[in-house]
Every structure is written in C-alpha cells, then in structure tokens.
Structure 1
C-alpha cells in the first residue's frame, strides 16, 4: 500500500478538526444554554473580557480574540449589553472606537457557568483521549496557528 502524501495527511487532519468542531460546538452550545442560559457565543465573549486585565477590550481587540466572525461580534455584544452582562463605553482617546466591559453580573454568570463548560469539554472531547494525546493536540494546533499567522517567505 502506497504511503499517503503530505497533502493527503494534511487534508485528513484538517477534515478531522473541522468535523470534530462541527459536531461538538452545537452540543456545547445546547448544554451551556440548558445549564446557565448562556449561548456559547455569549460565553466566548465573556471569557475574553474576563481574561482581559481590567475586564475591558476595544471592540476591535475583542473581535480578534473571540471565536466569532468579526461581523457577529457587534451583534453579540449588543445582545450582552441588553442582558446587562456587558457595557459599552466610548474610547476617550479614539472616538471611532468603543470598549466592551464585563459587568459584575456578567462576571458572576461567566464564573458560575465556567465549571460546567470545562466539564463538558472534558466529557465530550477529552474523555476518549490520553493526557499525552491532549498535550500533542494542543501543541500541534498552537504550532499550526502560529505558522498560519506568520507569513511564509514564499507568499510574502
């Protein structure tokens, strides 16, 4: 049997990543909504704001960090503002931008839902993998991410 080419291996790995993501995201969203009332998109924004030094990020920074499309981030932040979990503040240095700021209620809801979210990742993703496999996956994906955002010498 002929060995698989690097392109075939890359396509297989990419396909497995996409299929796993496509299968797990709806499950995590349903579970999180059922447990805490937070949609996964809200949780993602609250996660990024919670991780920020002062609980605030410029909308452009939030769009870069969140696992949401840039076009969706404004809509999701507006939903969070209506729910009282995030506030929007004008940027005093640049009137064209604003900050998204996690509120006390937003932080409380995030912290209350985080153990469930992490538990669901363990149950639905990690439970069939060894610790070594999890380390390998994390290391490989971080390396792929770093490589993908660094221009190669061949494509400028």
Structure 2
C-alpha cells in the first residue's frame, strides 16, 4: 500500500510550490482588502494602473496589459471598462490599426495609483513579515527577499 491511488505527491518541488501558493494567497488577500478599503480599487485595478503609469507612453495595448496583469482578453476588457467608468483610464484606438485598442491612464488614474502605492508597499511588507517566523514559510520569504535585484 506504499502507492495509494490518491496519495498526494510529496516531492520537494511540490512542497516548495505549496509554500509559495500559501504565501501568495495570504499576501494577495491582505493587499486586496487594504486597497479596496483605503482607495476603493481592487488589486487588478491597482496593478493595471501601475503598468500604465510605468509605460513610457502612459498606454498599453489591451493584450499587453492582459499579459502583464495575468488576465484573459475578456477579463482585461471588463477591468479597463471599470477603470474607464471610474475615470482612471480610457480606451483609445490605434491610429495606424483600427483593430488595435489601447488602455490609457488618465491624470485621475495616475493620482489614484500614486496614492495607493504607499498602502501597497506597507501591506506587502507587513504580510511578508507575518510569515518570517513561520518554520514552514519563513525560509520562502527569506529566499524571496534575498533574490531582490
């Protein structure tokens, strides 16, 4: 009975990945709650504004934004629609290719992102710090922090 049909795999990669997923879920939850409470935006909205703000032209093709935020095309279309309704972004057609649609950050979107940056940084550090003493996940946090470039 050494190999039960539904016994979980216990490889070092599997265990490491589970630690990362646990850490990720906790940090994402804390970030999402803080951004919503303090700034009225979700985590995907924050990350979209961040990518648009960091873009040299303050805009990204919708597909590029979807790739950077980790969403599908229809999800990023809805997300940009929410940002547009809030006045944080707008959609613009590519002048050379009318099929190309861009998301463009507005001045109000840039202000909201700038206001939320400190909250994001504070909550991220706090959430990671909460796990540093955990014998299972603490080494993962330390490894992530040591890998900073």
What TM-score, normalized to structure 1?
Answer: 0.77
Q: Which residue does the alignment assign to 2:135?
A: none
1:68 Cα shift?
3.1
**Aligned residues: CA RMSD:** 2.2
1:19-70: CA deviation from partner (whole Å, max 9, x where unpaired): 2112221221011111111111110110110110011001111111113344
Could you list the runs of 4 or more consecutive aligned residues of structure 1 that deviate by over 4 angstroms after TM superposition? 129-132
For structure 2, list consecutive stretches of 5 or more residues without a partner in the other structure.
1-9, 133-137
Q: Which residue does the alignment assign to 1:45?
A: 48
Q: Which residue does the alignment assign to 1:83?
A: 86
Paired residues, number: 133
Q: Which residue does the alignment assign to 2:108?
A: 105
Contact persistence 1:126–1:134 (CA under 8 A): no
Aligned counterpart in structure 2 of residue 54 of structure 1, from 54, 57, 63? 57
Aligned equivalents of 1:64 and 1:75: distance in 2? 15
Matched, 1:133 2:143: yes
Which structure features the higher share of helix residues? 1
For structure 1, list consecutive stretches of 5 or more residues without a partner in the other structure.
1-6, 140-156
1:94 Cα shift?
1.4
Could you say if the C-alpha distance between residues 135 and 25 of structure 1 is closer, same or farther in structure 2, counting changes exceeding 3 Å?
A: closer
Structure with greater contact order relative to length (CA < 8 Å, sep ≥ 6): 2
Aligned equivalents of 2:88 and 2:115: distance in 1? 13
